[in-house]
Amino acid sequence: GGIITQTPKFLIGQEGQKLTLKCQQNFNHDTMYWYRQDSGKGLRLIYYSITENDLQKGDLSEGYDASREKKSSFSLTVTSAQKNEMAVFLCASSPTGVQNTLYFGAGTRLSVL
């Protein structure tokens, strides 16, 4: 079986700071995703990528950049952290094909002071 590794697990930033979250998968999946989860809400898609160097905007892309440097790696940048922001960022991957099952990493918990 494969695994999705997100780093760091916890991230504390300052208002206005640029913050980068990293995600690695060894499933050899084509598609990777970044979701944001706020307390009491469902997951919202920020960016996804269907192959290396591809980037597609989700519903919540404003304020974020992403980069698919290679097939196994997908990073997310918060361009300017908002004061008192708290959320969990989840990375996921899925194989291409009819069955688009998503597999998730353990998440990065962001707190902005």
Q: Which of 23, 29, 34, 35 binds another protein (CB under 8 A)?
A: 35
User: Is residue 106 left, alpha or beta, with left meaning phi > 0 and alpha meaning psi from -120 to 50?
Assistant: alpha
Least Cβ distance, residue 80 to another protein (angstroms): 25
Closest CA to 71 of 26, 113, 36: 26
- Is residue 41 near another protein by the rule CB under 8 A? yes
What is the spatial distance between Cα 101 and Cα 64, in angstroms, rounded to a whole number? 25
* Closer CB to another protein, 2 or 16, in the complex: 2
Total number of residues that touch another protein (CB under 8 A): 27
Least Cβ distance, residue 94 to another protein (angstroms): 8
